Amino acid sequence: MPAYAIGLLTDVDFNAEIIEYISTIESTMKPFDGRFIVHGTHAEVLEGTMNMDCIIIEFPSIDHARRWYASDAYGKLIPLRARNSKGAIFLIDGVPADYSAVALVEKMAVGATIHPAHVRSSPAVLETTTH
């Protein structure tokens, strides 16, 4: 199941350290099969407010994302970003390609305790825990 490293950044100071960070980060992702989905763009805000740059990196799994973030190669870059921007960096699980919100609602209706990332459209592979 895919997982994502997401950065929501403000007050980015585009100096030599940030240029080094941007120039190097992609090489730290490759050993963990990471790739940019979104890189440094502003969202088209339809509701609410958001004045941040958004970065989304996709990994094959949350384990890949965690190992990338904990890697020596990326660890050396963290201070470059942290000294020159504000914001939040976090990892989050995605959902499987066959995820179904309808299946989630159906399982909720029968009182099952579930994690949405485990719901797939095929009932044969649903993983649930009941109360």
| Residue-level pLDDT, tens digit, the chain, 131 residues | 999 999 999 999 999 999 999 999 999 999 999 999 999 888 899 999 988 999 999 999 999 999 999 999 999 999 999 999 999 999 999 988 888 888 878 777 776 666 655 544 433 333 322 33
Spatial CB neighbours of 16, under 8 Å, sequence gap ≥ 6: none
Sequence length of the chain is 131
Position 121 scores a pLDDT of 41
Position 37 scores a pLDDT of 97
What token pair was written down for 16?
A: 């030599």
Residue 11's nearest CA partner among 56, 57, 52, 54 is 52
What pTM was computed for the model?
A: 0.79
Q: Give the integer Cα–Cα distance in Å for 17 and 78.
A: 11
According to DSSP, residue 79 is labeled H
Position 126 scores a pLDDT of 31
Which domains are assigned to the chain?
Answer: 3-93 (3.30.70.100), 101-130 (no CATH)
- Answer whether 62's CB lies under 8 Å from 95's CB: no
Cα-only R_g, the chain: 18
